[in-house]
């Protein structure tokens, strides 16, 4: 188990920097303001602290991760979503950079886990993985507080449980396949529905 975790971390460290090309352009969060107000705010709120669980919170998310997701939505292959495809299709890569910088600079709201009964199991999985199934600890990539590790590993702390669970199911089904080296598909593929629910609930309350 420890070996698996170590191996995964090593693979991440070695391969992730080449997962996608960094844009040479400079990001300017102020330039994103107009697009945010006119377009994104309707669903993600102007400060990225969305209100509806189907629309993920973006406040405090790492800029590089946001840029990658927007590019992936626009490419419409490894991460398909009809709503976000429509949003990303008209964005230039400079817009994406600006939007990433904008949302990273917003302060994330904290949330409390809604179902304390699930939190214990969720915490065990998050911190220690599931040894018997070869599931690596989520904390080894997303960090002990869920803050993530830029640029590779997204922030997950304080995200809506419904959204995180839906993403884990999507990785498990292989519908979302934009994770370099299948990192998340391998992990989610070994989680049961109950385990997904529990760990998503735990993440929601992380800060």
> What residue ranges bind ligand HEC (CB under 6 A)?
8, 12, 35, 39-40, 42-44, 54-56, 58, 66, 68-70, 81, 83-84, 87, 99, 125, 135-136, 138, 140-142, 152-154, 156, 164, 166-168, 178-179, 183-184, 187, 199
In the complex, minimum distance from the CB of residue 148 to ligand HEC, in angstroms, rounded to a whole number: 8
Gap between the Cα atoms of 196 and 193, Å rounded:
5
In the complex, minimum distance from the CB of residue 109 to ligand HEC, in angstroms, rounded to a whole number: 15
Q: Is the dihedral of CA 71, 74, 75, 80 positive or negative?
A: positive
In the complex, minimum distance from the CB of residue 130 to ligand HEC, in angstroms, rounded to a whole number: 8
- Residue 19's contacts (CB-CB under 8 Å, 6 or more residues apart) are 68, 152, 180
Structure tokens at 48: 């990225």
Closer to ligand HEC by Cβ: residue 6 or 112: 6
In the complex, minimum distance from the CB of residue 112 to ligand HEC, in angstroms, rounded to a whole number: 18
Closer to ligand HEC by Cβ: residue 24 or 82: 82
Closer to ligand HEC by Cβ: residue 113 or 141: 141
Burial of 116 per CB tally in 10 Å (0-12, 13-18, 19+): exposed
Q: Is the dihedral of CA 92, 97, 102, 106 positive or negative?
A: positive
In the complex, minimum distance from the CB of residue 79 to ligand HEC, in angstroms, rounded to a whole number: 6
Cis peptide before 55 (omega within 30 of 0): no
Q: CA 203 from chain center: how many Å?
A: 11
In the complex, minimum distance from the CB of residue 113 to ligand HEC, in angstroms, rounded to a whole number: 14
Burial of 82 per CB tally in 10 Å (0-12, 13-18, 19+): exposed
């Amino acid at each position: 188990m420890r070996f698996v975790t170590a191996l995964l971390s090593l693979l991440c460290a070695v391969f992730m920097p080449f997962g996608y090309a960094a844009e040479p352009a400079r990001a300017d969060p102020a330039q994103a303001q107009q697009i945010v107000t006119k377009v994104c705010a309707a669903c993600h709120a102007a400060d990225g602290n969305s209100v509806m669980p189907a629309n993920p919170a973006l406040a405090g998310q790492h800029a590089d991760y946001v840029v990658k997701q927007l590019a992936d939505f626009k490419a419409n292959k490894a991460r398909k979503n009809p709503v976000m495809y429509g949003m990303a299709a008209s964005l230039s890569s400079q817009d994406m950079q600006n939007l990433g910088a904008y949302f990273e600079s917003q302060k994330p709201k904290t949330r409390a886990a809604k179902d304390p009964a699930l939190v214990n199991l969720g915490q065990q999985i998050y911190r220690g993985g599931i040894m018997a199934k070869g599931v690596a600890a989520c904390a080894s990539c997303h960090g002990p507080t869920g803050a993530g590790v830029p640029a590779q590993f997204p922030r997950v702390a304080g995200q809506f449980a419904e959204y995180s669970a839906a993403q884990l199911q999507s990785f498990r089904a292989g519908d979302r396949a934009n994770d370099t080296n299948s990192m998340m598909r391998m992990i989610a593929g070994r989680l049961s529905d109950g385990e997904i629910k529990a760990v998503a609930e735990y993440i929601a309350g992380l800060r």
